[in-house]
Structure 1
Amino acid sequence: MIMYGNEAILYMNKFESFVKQGRVIKEDERVNKKEYEAFVEEHCMGSFFQSVDWGAVKEGWISRQVVTRGKDGNINASMQVLIKKIPYLNISYMYAPRGPVCDFADEDGLRELMKEVDKLQKRYHAFAFKTDPCIEEGDRVAIENLKKVGFEYLITKDGYDTIQCRSNYVLDLEGKSCEELYSAFHKKHRYNIRVAERKGVECSFFGIEKVEDFYQLMIETGERDGFKIRSKEYYARLIRKQENKAKLCMCYYEGMPVSGALIINYGGRMSYLYGASSNNHREVMANYLMHWTILKHCKELGCSIYDFMGIPYYYNKAHKNYGVYRFKKGFNGRVVNYAGEFEKVYYPVVGRMIIKIMNLLGYKL
């Protein structure tokens, strides 16, 4: 995990080592991709994790989309379900990152959507289904309705042990000018931005042509901070599949890459998905200028939110990852605490036994 600026990203890569090769079904036969994407992207509970293109990025997973419709024939609830087949066994595990996309106050609607998911469970012999929806921890109505339709609320699970980080740091952009945003930064952040500018750090946006530079920074960061990184092909595929939504923000000093971020703009929400920095020239403060450059770009695109993504253990100053929160806090945003994970086990005895075994092996189920 990259300092948990990438932490909120789907963390099933350990599980993926079980599978040498998998297939991804881009679209359910009954769901039109354009219609589905329009619904998810415009919905207040929508997330790029629920986009068809994100499902296509996940090699080794089967991606299926289910929907329910109102009397007018339009989609009123949706969910993308990723399915991982367990090698040598005729069973699978299902996961809906940041799903479903629906009105969680509508218990009947949620129940109808789950009927569609249960059809997938039977088809793929899933022993369990996990989801971590975009609902905040204080949304008791949503939490209770999820429990009513068969989910167990994994409330005791530590936020660092969940697939997606339970706490994100976001900056609201709507109604604020670039000048207002900048003036609200911590004075040390403003100073470091000016340092980077005086030193001649150059930040620009790129597509797949700079993946090699970004990947080399990822290697450095992974070795420095002790985490496993994705393959270069993964980052390239993510940018290709997300079309014009994903891009790289790269910072160069004296012609050398010193900082980079992979960002995704989905539904007016810009997300800082992956970030990396060089061990060299850290004194030029490239990371500060990089995020300021991204924020100005957000305003140009009309984004309403910049999501810095995860802030693990932000409440514990003694924790080694507290510095992640301290850095992001300097941009004067706010903490969003999500409810966390919900799980439905279809075969209680066998299913929980499998989950326990997989957890003992180090997989986040």
Structure 2
Amino acid sequence: MYTYKVGISQEEHDHFIKNSSQTNLLQSSSWAKVKNEWGNERIGFYQDGQLVASASILIRSLPLGMTMFYIPRGPVMDYQNKDLVNFVLSSLKKIAKRKRALFIKFDPFILLNHHQIDKEAIDNPQAQDIINNLKNLGCEWLGQTTDMGENIQPRFQANIYADGFTEENLSKKIRQSIRTAKNKGVMIQFGDDDLLEDFAFLMKKTEDRKSIHLRGIDYYRKLLDSYPKQSFITLASLNLAERLAELEKQKEKAQNNLAKFGDNVKPSKIDNTKKEIERLSDEIAFLQEHLSQGNEIVPLSGTLSLEFGGTSENIYAGMDEEFRRYQAAIYTWFETARHAFDRGNIWQNMGGVENDLSGGLYHFKSKFKPEIEEFIGEFNLPVSPLYHLANIAYTIRKKRRSKH
């Protein structure tokens, strides 16, 4: 016999999610603290007194006292158990009616397929049956959407797994980029509130560079506060004065070598030394300019990660494009993953990538040889006769917001 309970404790809900095969950050109870502009309910579903499904629901207020339910990466349950799925959806619909919800939007933590970079996709043999069953139960499937902006959560994500993740397994080019960052004096720190201002500065730089609207320092602080001891910032920085001193030594050595060259020295060696002096002079001038502005230690790149149930998610990342030559972004993302695994996480979600696997996000994240995971996507479960009008309005509003 199935029953349900509205308002189960955070502890009971989180314990169930952590011990399921669908563990994910967005179904952790603390995610509702981050999204506190929404309402929240946690619903537990039981079979003979044992918890067998759970959902943390975000509730958005709409005009005229109406609402919509959104269950990110949930509900968490056995989607192959048709009786259970039927009970969960019918119960959610009853609860939604009491809350005057027009519809329930959800995107299960179920993969359609997954594959490693440059390898053939491995299909989930249960995915289509799950989709068909949800459709038979009255859910509208948004389908295999082709644009990232069509879904609330990315339908494609890049995931790195701890098993086998080492610097040696990366490509020669990426290993060289990491060595370049180290050789140029880039420093890596891990922290939280102590690195928050520098991280927010980098996010503002990213916002200006991409002409997009991101979040402010208060939101990043809320992320850290909502996941105490389960969050960290990775920050790459550079001591300009130390780097300048090292470059001046290198330049002096190159100039001395050039002065000592005799007639028997190959012209190519002379040209290479001159080019080295030019490169060193260029970077020296670059550093002197920034030091003259009162900068000494500058942040170059940063990420903010949240953890839940042995998983880690890179929620935000920013960089200062002006310091691109130091290869700090690649170094930062590599160290973020390594630190996540050192803390005991089994995988680290690098975030979404373009659905056609051809854009800038994909090309950057693919450098780390992640697994590309495609989710089955979003479903809408109509609750009110006004659903279709409400969904049209919601879709129009979402498209407008995605353009800004």
Q: TM-score, normalised by structure 1?
A: 0.84
Match of 2:109, SS state, is coil
1:40 paired to 2:17: yes
**For residue 109 of structure 2, what is the aligned residue in structure 1?**
134
Mapped to 2, the partners of 1:156 and 1:135 lie a distance apart of 13
| Aligned residue identity for 1:61 | W
Q: What does residue range 84-95 of structure 1 map to in structure 2 within 5 Å?
A: 84-87=60-63, 89-95=64-70
**For residue 75 of structure 2, what is the aligned residue in structure 1?**
100
**For residue 342 of structure 1, what is the aligned residue in structure 2?**
379
Given that residues 146 and 355 in structure 2 are in contact (C-alpha distance below 8 angstroms), is that contact kept between their aligned partners in structure 1?
no
The offset of 1:70, in angstroms, is 2.6
Mapped to 2, the partners of 1:331 and 1:221 lie a distance apart of 21
Mapped to 1, the partners of 2:338 and 2:214 lie a distance apart of 28
Residue 132 (structure 2) aligned to one of 138, 141, 144: 144
**For residue 308 of structure 2, what is the aligned residue in structure 1?**
266
The offset of 1:192, in angstroms, is 0.4
Q: Where do 4+ consecutive residues of structure 1 move more than 4 Å?
A: none
Given that residues 97 and 384 in structure 2 are in contact (C-alpha distance below 8 angstroms), is that contact kept between their aligned partners in structure 1?
no
Closer, same or farther in 2 for the Cα pair 1:217/1:112, shift >3 Å?
A: same
Residue 56 (structure 1) aligned to one of 21, 30, 33: 33
The offset of 1:132, in angstroms, is 1.1
Mapped to 1, the partners of 2:340 and 2:394 lie a distance apart of 40
Residue 236 (structure 2) aligned to one of 230, 246, 251: 251
Structure 1 or 2, whichever has the larger Rg, is: 2
Residue 320 (structure 2) aligned to one of 268, 278, 289: 278
Given that residues 151 and 343 in structure 1 are in contact (C-alpha distance below 8 angstroms), is that contact kept between their aligned partners in structure 2?
yes
Given that residues 66 and 116 in structure 1 are in contact (C-alpha distance below 8 angstroms), is that contact kept between their aligned partners in structure 2?
no
1:323 paired to 2:360: yes
The offset of 1:304, in angstroms, is 1.6
The offset of 1:116, in angstroms, is 3.2
Match of 2:65, SS state, is coil
Residue 66 (structure 1) aligned to one of 30, 35, 43: 43
Alignment: residue pair count: 326
Closer, same or farther in 2 for the Cα pair 1:106/1:184, shift >3 Å?
A: same
Given that residues 66 and 113 in structure 1 are in contact (C-alpha distance below 8 angstroms), is that contact kept between their aligned partners in structure 2?
no
The offset of 1:237, in angstroms, is 0.8
Mapped to 2, the partners of 1:93 and 1:256 lie a distance apart of 44
**For residue 119 of structure 1, what is the aligned residue in structure 2?**
94
The offset of 1:334, in angstroms, is 1.7
Mapped to 2, the partners of 1:142 and 1:212 lie a distance apart of 45
Mapped to 1, the partners of 2:304 and 2:93 lie a distance apart of 35
1:359 paired to 2:395: yes
Residue 172 (structure 1) aligned to one of 161, 168, 176: 161
1:182 paired to 2:173: no
The offset of 1:118, in angstroms, is 1.9
Mapped to 2, the partners of 1:98 and 1:235 lie a distance apart of 22
Match of 2:30, SS state, is helix
Deviations 1:306-363 (A, max 9, x none): 21111114433xxxxx122122111112211111111112224x22112212332345
